[in-house]
């Protein structure tokens, strides 16, 4: 999954991001409202965690912009204020859930999972191609019913490839999915993850094909 954390408290943003990254998600950190509105208008995101109190433009304005662009991305709003009016305004502007600071990170992760399950983007909780099946909720990859013991980055790579099965996905797109946009990650890291995932799929009827200069595609073996 690709998640955006919009929070001007750098320590809190870092803590939230690390929690989701530990589950294998790519996370983008944004610290002001103007940048958030511009970024969200042009990106395909699975979940936004959005603070109300932001410099430049409030979280409510960012949310209003997002919905005005016909984006149905799930949004979980955060605020240090506990007044019921703030919660009502957030929900009226199109927020899907709401948490008041301070909060427990494990609860935030649980609520995020619930939003992803409920969203139109996650009606299907598994991805399948041939005898390969990825359980998005459990973050488990199976080959012919056997669960593979894979690190989180390789699970995230499998997710990126299976979501675009039979299509080409570039190294840059893979890096964005695994780490978030703007991450300074060497192409060699992607090549290593692809190599490792290929080894795990060698006994399946699915292969990862390299298209030189373009990227990779996951498809049924010929």
Report the CATH number that the domain containing residue 135 is assigned in CATH: 1.10.10.10
Q: What is the DSSP letter of 50?
A: E
> Of 98, 121, 144, at which residue does a domain stop?
121
pLDDT given at position 186: 82
Residues 6 and 89 grouped into a single domain: yes
Is the pLDDT higher at 22 or at 36?
Answer: 36
Omega cis (within 30) before 102: yes
What is the spatial distance between Cα 169 and Cα 158, in angstroms, rounded to a whole number? 12
Q: Residue 179 has which token pair?
A: 């780490």
Residues 189 and 130 grouped into a single domain: yes
> Of 121, 150, 173, at which residue does a domain stop?
121
Q: What is the mean pLDDT of the chain?
A: 88
19 falls in which pLDDT band (50, 70, 90)? very high
The CATH number covering residue 71 comes to 3.40.50.2300
Residues 79 and 133 grouped into a single domain: no
Q: What average pLDDT does this structure show over 32-56?
A: 92
Q: Decide: residue 90, CB within 10 A, 0-12 exposed, 13-18 middle, 19+ buried.
A: buried
pLDDT given at position 40: 93
Task: Express each pLDDT in 84-137 by its tens digit.
Answer: 677 777 788 888 998 988 899 999 999 998 888 776 444 457 889 999 999 887
H or E segment and range at residue 74: none
Q: Which of 59, 62, 25 is nearest to 16 (CA)?
A: 25
What is the spatial distance between Cα 33 and Cα 11, in angstroms, rounded to a whole number? 17
Strands 132-135 and 126-129 turn out to be antiparallel
What is the spatial distance between Cα 91 and Cα 75, in angstroms, rounded to a whole number? 10
Is the pLDDT higher at 96 or at 71?
Answer: 96
What is the spatial distance between Cα 24 and Cα 179, in angstroms, rounded to a whole number? 9
Task: Express each pLDDT in 155-200 by its tens digit.
Answer: 999 999 998 888 999 998 898 888 877 677 888 889 999 999 999 9
Residues 160 and 190 grouped into a single domain: yes
Residues 35 and 107 grouped into a single domain: yes
pTM: 0.65
42 falls in which pLDDT band (50, 70, 90)? confident
- The count of domains in the chain is 2
Boundaries of domain holding 102: 2-121
In angstroms, how far is the first alpha carbon of the chain from the final one?
Answer: 29
pLDDT given at position 122: 46
pLDDT given at position 136: 80
Q: Residue 31 has which token pair?
A: 């610290």
Q: What is the DSSP letter of 121?
A: G
54 falls in which pLDDT band (50, 70, 90)? very high
Per-position DSSP letters for 136-179, written without gaps between them = TTTTEEEETTEEE---HHHHHHHHHHHHTTTS-B-HHHHHHHHH
Strand residues in 54-95 grouped as ranges (E): 75-79
Q: What average pLDDT does this structure show over 51-77?
A: 90
Least confident of 17-21, 51-55, 134-138, 206-210: 134-138
Residues 116 and 138 grouped into a single domain: no
> Of 97, 121, 145, at which residue does a domain stop?
121
Residues 141 and 109 grouped into a single domain: no
What is the spatial distance between Cα 156 and Cα 178, in angstroms, rounded to a whole number? 6
Residues 38 and 132 grouped into a single domain: no
81 falls in which pLDDT band (50, 70, 90)? low
Residues 133 and 117 grouped into a single domain: no
pLDDT given at position 123: 47
27 falls in which pLDDT band (50, 70, 90)? very high
Residue in this structure with the two tokens 């208008």, named with its chain if needed: 41
**Res 8 pLDDT > 70:** yes
């Amino acid at each position: 999954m690709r998640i955006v954390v919009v929070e001007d408290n750098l320590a809190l943003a870092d803590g939230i991001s690390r929690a989701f990254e530990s589950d294998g998600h790519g996370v983008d950190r944004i610290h002001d409202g103007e940048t958030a509105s511009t970024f969200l208008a042009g990106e395909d995101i699975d979940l936004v965690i959005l603070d109300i109190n932001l410099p430049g433009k409030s979280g409510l304005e960012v949310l209003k912009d997002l919905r005005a662009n016909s984006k149905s991305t799930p949004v979980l709003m955060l605020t240090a204020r506990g007044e019921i009016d703030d919660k009502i305004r957030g929900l009226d502007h199109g927020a899907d859930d709401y948490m008041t600071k301070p909060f427990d990170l494990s609860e935030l992760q649980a609520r995020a999972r619930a939003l992803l399950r409920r969203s139109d983007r996650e009606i299907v909780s598994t991805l399948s191609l041939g005898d390969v099946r990825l359980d998005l909720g459990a973050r488990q990859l199976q080959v012919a019913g056997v669960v593979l013991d894979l690190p989180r980055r390789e699970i995230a790579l499998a997710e990126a490839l299976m979501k675009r099965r039979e299509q080409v996905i570039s190294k840059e797109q893979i890096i964005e999915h695994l780490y978030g946009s703007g991450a300074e990650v060497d192409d060699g890291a992607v090549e290593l993850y692809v190599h490792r995932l290929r080894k795990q799929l060698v006994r399946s009827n699915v292969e990862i094909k390299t298209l030189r200069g373009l990227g990779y595609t996951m498809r049924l073996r010929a």
